[in-house]
Amino acid sequence: MRDRAEDVVSAVRQGYAFDGACLELGALVADGAPRADVPVRVPLAMLNRHGLVAGATGTGKTKTLQVMAEQLAAAGVPVFAADIKGDLSGLASPGAPDEKIEARADAVGQEWSPTAFPVELLRLGDDGVGVPVRASVTSFGPTLLAKVLELNATQESSLGLVFHYADTAGLPLVELSDLRAVIQHLTSAEGKQDLEGLGGLSKQTAGVILRELVNFSASGADTFFGEPEFEVASLLRVGVDGRGIITLLELPGVQDRPVLFSTFLMWLLAELFEELPEVGDLDKPKLVFFFDEAHLLFKDASKDFLSALIQTVRLIRSKGVGVFFVTQSPKDVHEDVLAQLGSRVQHQLRAFTPNDAAALKAAVRTYPTSSYDLEELLTTLGIGEAVVTVMSEKGAPTPVAHTMLRAPQSLMAPSSPEVLAGLVAASPLAATYGERIDRESAYELLTGRIAAGPGDPLEAPEVLTKEQEIERLEAEIRGLPVPGTVPTEPQPTPSSTRKPPRKPPRKARASADSPLDAFLTTAGRELAKEIVRGVFGTRRRR
The whole-number pLDDT of residue 531 equals 58
| Residues 205-224 as b or e (16 or more Cβ within 10 Å = b) | bbbbbbebbbebbeeebbbb
- Least confident span in 82-96, 106-120, 292-306: 292-306
Angle between helices 153-168 and 137-149 (to 10 degrees): 170
Q: Give me the amino acid identity at 438.
A: D
The whole-number pLDDT of residue 295 equals 81
The whole-number pLDDT of residue 280 equals 80
Half-sphere exposure of 326 (CA within 13 A, CB side): 24
Residue 437, number of CB atoms within 10 A of its CB:
16
Residues in CB range of 217: below 8 A, 6 or more apart:
176, 466, 470
Handedness of CA 267, 269, 272, 278 (dihedral sign): negative
153-165 pLDDT tens trace: 889 989 998 998 8
The residue count of the chain comes to 542
191-208 pLDDT tens trace: 777 766 666 688 888 899
Residue 97, number of CB atoms within 10 A of its CB:
14
The answer to whether residues 41 and 114 touch, using CB atoms and an 8 Å cutoff, is no
| pLDDT for residue 484 is more than 60 | no
* Start-end of H helices in 173-302: 176-186, 189-194, 203-218, 258-275, 295-298
In the chain, count H helices and then E strands. 19, 14
| pLDDT for residue 542 is more than 80 | no
- 3-state secondary structure labels for all residues of 87-117: HHHHHHCECCCCHHHHHHHHHHCCCCCCCCC
Distance CA 427, CA 177 (A): 31
| pLDDT for residue 284 is more than 60 | yes
Task: Decide the pairing of beta strands 531-533 and 51-54.
Answer: unpaired
The whole-number pLDDT of residue 529 equals 45
4-35 pLDDT tens trace: 778 899 999 999 999 999 999 999 999 899 99
3-state DSSP call for residue 407? coil
Residue of 283, 269, 274 lying closest to 313 (CA atoms): 269
| pLDDT for residue 250 is more than 60 | yes
The answer to whether residues 173 and 441 touch, using CB atoms and an 8 Å cutoff, is yes
The whole-number pLDDT of residue 232 equals 92
DSSP letter string, 523-537: HHHHHHHTEEE-TTS
- 3-state secondary structure labels for all residues of 329-374: CHHHCCHHHHCCCCEEEECCCCCCCHHHHHHHHHHHHCCCCCCCCH
The answer to whether residues 153 and 145 touch, using CB atoms and an 8 Å cutoff, is no
Across 22-31, 267-276, 285-294, 456-465, the highest mean pLDDT is recorded for 22-31
The whole-number pLDDT of residue 297 equals 77
- Least confident span in 90-94, 431-435, 454-458: 454-458
Rounded mean pLDDT of 484-496?
47
Residues in CB range of 421: below 8 A, 6 or more apart:
129
| pLDDT for residue 538 is more than 80 | no
Residue 454: asked if its preceding bond is cis (omega within 30°), the reply is no
| pLDDT for residue 401 is more than 60 | yes
